[in-house]
Structure 1
Amino acid sequence: MKKSLFTLSGTFLLAALAACSGGGEQEASDSSSDGGSSGEEVTIRLHHWYNEEQDNWDDVIASFEEAHPNINVESVTPENNDANETMQQIDLAAASGDQLDVIMVNDASNYAQRVSQGMFEPLNSYIDEAGFNYDEEYRVDTAVDGERYALPGKYNMHFVMMNQDKLDENNLELPTDWTWNEFMDYADQLSEGEGANKMYGTYFHTWIDYVKLAAFNQPENSNLVKDDGTTSNIDSEKIRQSLEIRQRGHEDGSAVPYDNTISQELSYRDQFFNQSAATILTGSWMISEAGGIDGSPSPFNVSFAPYPKAEEGDPVTTPAGADFLSVYSGSQNKEAAFEFIRWYTTEGIQEQGRYLPAYKNADLQEVVDNLVQASAAPDKVDTESLINVLETSEAAPLNIPPTYISEAEDAYMSETDAFLLGEQDLETTIENADQKVQEIIDNNAE
């Protein structure tokens, strides 16, 4: 195994993107010239952003190479382990003609953008040749217009972490299926105390996720732009419901005030484990920290409940995402690269013991046990409730946002910030944000 570190800057990003777009389609149709399945020894490059030692990548790659002696893997990762910077550096490497084989992408937006540029090899034929049913194997569907350009590795899903001791004190059952109204009822009942020592029922962080709560896990129109790609989704039932949830938390005092969150730059981890909030809406990245953070054991028992539903009759559904593992369309080692991503997304990620796999056939008990053992106090974590949430939560369809989604998010959040700070009412917020987002959509129309 070899290692490389990215040291390039982003000054030529626009040129890189143009270069990636031009010729990408032709490259994608070129046949692979590698010997991954023919016995010829090849070296593939794996571009990602993770810390190789801390996240056990050295061991994973060594295991793959032992099982595939004809394929060597060179890990290429930036010094600062920044995912978005990694994508910029990959664009530059592609424009410069550097060797690219396996590319890991951190979110649906970056993935969709580079699919449109022709950067990634279409994988449907590879999947057919490998002889597996994608839908039976993976939780997250990576298809764009019917073609898959990636296999999902790490699975990102959402749930509620709960202070089980406080549930017990208040004679509240651990929810296994609940609505947003019920979630806020719990938050109200769990709130106690006054002033600086108050424990709030819940905490909403500053991310965009927390101002589209009820829309986030919907099967359709789950983002700020409707699935038709031409219409703002702001003036909709679920976005309105999302802001009403936030409004209720402010009015009844069950959620940490937003002005405190931004003025004090609060951390959601600290809010929960310091017992400033009895529950937090978070996700699978917190499993390995569920027993405490920064080496400090949790002072209370931690349990898990599913992401709340918008309506009573809805299924238990979680917003879902993944790390996308793609094969570069210009790679000379496509067969070997696909062999690696298939192995990693099924066997390798389980051996790694650091992430929740998107692979449906993973041993959840073993995965959870490995993740929880990494926390400061594994005995404080209710793994039974966690596994129940993982098994019963259906992944919402992957939303592939338009390339200008960050502009729409900024416009929306400028209005929701004013709303959450009490500077304007709900209707004004919806009206202003809807107009701004629609203008952005229209300005980006082809």
Structure 2
Amino acid sequence: MTSLVLIMGLATGCGNSSNSSAANNESPAKGNGPQAASPVTLKMWGGVPPESGPQEVIDSWNKDHPDVQVEYVRFVNDDDGNLKLDTAMITGQDVDLFVNYTISHASKRVESGLALDLSTFTDYNIDEKMGIDAESWKIDGKYYGVPTTKSPFFIALNKEALDAANLPVPKEWTWNELREYAKKLKTGDQYGFIQNMEPFVDPIDSVLSQEGYTKADGTSNLDHPLVRQWLETLNGMMKDDKTTPPLGEQLTSKMPVEQVFLSGEVPMLNIGAWLLRSSNNFTDFPRDFTIAFAPVPRLAEAADDYVSRGGLGDYISINAKSKKQEAAWEFLKWYSDGGMSPMAAGGRLPASKDANQDDAVKSLIGDKSDSYDLDSLMYVMFDNQTPTYVRSLPQEVMDLRSQEYEKYFLDSQSLDQTVQAMVTRHNEYLKQNK
């Protein structure tokens, strides 16, 4: 706490230097003659490597806007990287725009006074531009950023492997059906299905984001029947079917799941649109098969109430302490309405209705269109009408439940013990955070 007070004091000291010409975007006067205005320089912090789209976006803007130049600063989107970003803003370093990748990060920055309330601008209607899914990113009824990308998650499929097994590309299916696909696609000692760890727990959230993480009496809902079903299904695939890697093997080996899928070793991969960043890279990830795409399966048999992880992402905020907010806003509007199209090369599709989706698709697949099943690609990216959710669960709850279900998958506690432990710890968290 003492360190935080000192840091905040330093930030206050830095913020009070507004009487300097630099703080007001003016060049220091040299003599009494008229001086040419220096270009405004904006610093945008994001988690995507520059070569995967951001640098092309920045270069395009800078070419047409000599008076406002943007520099891209990359931070790694993990705990250390997000702390680096927060520290930079708290201590008054140059941050004018920054990307939030989760609502929890965005909310904490709003609470700390680091994100600007965008209702101060009235010339851009976020709801109209981005559609109903944008609502998920409101914080206390307001936008403190613009959700700029569509963020589809899907099952990537080896189309030739499916054809050999006489299996169609699904447009809607259940986890039990995926389990059967994995059995039929498994060859020898190879697995039939593999997952990136980021969407690993999405089946639980697809249920509880709708049913509620708490019951009517305010207690934990982590013992929901479909939570148990997810645990049993996945454990069966690991231990009985041997169609997906045991969790211990995947964690200890830090299995490079994208590489494993793209090498043709495993025919099904649960992942998000960032796969395209690697699947378009034939230099590092050569492949000789066509990639097809299917929606993420649901746990329940009935499809009526199913929602899928996805919605909108890359929530870009303006630093509330920035002295260049007007310039940052002009750039953010341009970026949101299509300037970001080169980001599609890394699987980030523009969310704005005014963005040119043809340009985005060209960036998405480049010159590799013959290596994709385009019908299924377009379906999961644009045509699938399944409602979506954005994960908004506090990080503390995510951590406690993962600690418990890992024990189950690692055979150190039973299913009943796992569910009870998750509920008990969640209830303790709820009492402490009333």
TM-score (norm 1): 0.79
Aligned equivalent of 2:42:
44
Deviation at 1:357, TM superposition (A): 2.4
Aligned equivalent of 1:5:
none
Aligned equivalent of 2:325:
334
CA distance in structure 2 between the partners assigned to 1:179 and 1:414 by the alignment: 26
Identity %: 23
- Choose from 340, 347, 350 the match for 2:341: 350
Does residue 215 of the first structure (1) align with residue 205 of the second (2)?
yes
Aligned partners of 1:307 and 1:316 also within 8 Å? no
- Choose from 389, 393, 402 the match for 1:413: 402
Deviation at 1:347, TM superposition (A): 1.8
Deviation at 1:360, TM superposition (A): 4.0
Does residue 137 of the first structure (1) align with residue 146 of the second (2)?
no
Aligned equivalent of 1:396:
388
Aligned partners of 2:343 and 2:349 also within 8 Å? no
- After superposition, give the CA deviation of every residue in 1:1-60 in whole Å (9 maximum; x if it has no partner): xxxxxxxxxx95686579889xx9xxxxxxxx889xxx99643332234443x1343442
Larger Rg: 2
Specify the SS of the correspondent of 1:130.
coil
Aligned partners of 2:206 and 2:306 also within 8 Å? no
Deviation at 1:294, TM superposition (A): 5.4
Specify the SS of the correspondent of 2:171.
coil
Aligned equivalent of 1:171:
166
Aligned partners of 2:194 and 2:270 also within 8 Å? yes
Structure 2, gaps ≥5 residues long: 16-23, 27-36
CA distance in structure 1 between the partners assigned to 2:274 and 2:242 by the alignment: 28
Specify the SS of the correspondent of 2:379.
helix
Does residue 272 of the first structure (1) align with residue 299 of the second (2)?
no
Does residue 371 of the first structure (1) align with residue 364 of the second (2)?
yes
Aligned equivalent of 1:386:
377
CA distance in structure 2 between the partners assigned to 1:217 and 1:69 by the alignment: 49
Aligned partners of 1:217 and 1:396 also within 8 Å? no
Does residue 106 of the first structure (1) align with residue 97 of the second (2)?
no
Does residue 122 of the first structure (1) align with residue 117 of the second (2)?
yes
Deviation at 1:300, TM superposition (A): 2.0
Inter-CA distance 168–13: structure 2 relative to 1 (3 Å threshold): farther
- Choose from 424, 428, 431 the match for 2:413: 424
- Choose from 218, 231, 254 the match for 1:243: 231
Inter-CA distance 93–360: structure 2 relative to 1 (3 Å threshold): closer
Inter-CA distance 309–436: structure 2 relative to 1 (3 Å threshold): same
Deviation at 1:131, TM superposition (A): 4.3
The residue identity in structure 1 corresponding to 2:325 is K
CA distance in structure 2 between the partners assigned to 1:429 and 1:18 by the alignment: 45
Inter-CA distance 221–135: structure 2 relative to 1 (3 Å threshold): farther
Deviation at 1:397, TM superposition (A): 3.1
Inter-CA distance 20–322: structure 2 relative to 1 (3 Å threshold): farther
- After superposition, give the CA deviation of every residue in 1:335-358 in whole Å (9 maximum; x if it has no partner): 221111111122211145534224
The residue identity in structure 1 corresponding to 2:365 is V
The residue identity in structure 1 corresponding to 2:171 is T
CA distance in structure 2 between the partners assigned to 1:46 and 1:219 by the alignment: 32
Deviation at 1:130, TM superposition (A): 1.4
Does residue 252 of the first structure (1) align with residue 241 of the second (2)?
yes
Deviation at 1:85, TM superposition (A): 3.6
Aligned equivalent of 1:30:
none
- After superposition, give the CA deviation of every residue in 1:358-399 in whole Å (9 maximum; x if it has no partner): 41434444423322237xx65322122111111233452323
Does residue 62 of the first structure (1) align with residue 59 of the second (2)?
yes
Aligned equivalent of 1:323:
314
Structure 1, gaps ≥5 residues long: 1-10, 25-32
CA distance in structure 1 between the partners assigned to 2:168 and 2:424 by the alignment: 43
Inter-CA distance 72–305: structure 2 relative to 1 (3 Å threshold): same
- After superposition, give the CA deviation of every residue in 1:71-116 in whole Å (9 maximum; x if it has no partner): 23243345xx455444323332333233432122232221121112
Aligned partners of 1:199 and 1:277 also within 8 Å? yes
Q: CA RMSD in A?
A: 3.6
Deviation at 1:171, TM superposition (A): 1.0
Farther-moved stretch of structure 1 (272-281 vs 363-372): 363-372
Deviation at 1:117, TM superposition (A): 1.8
Q: How many residues align?
A: 408
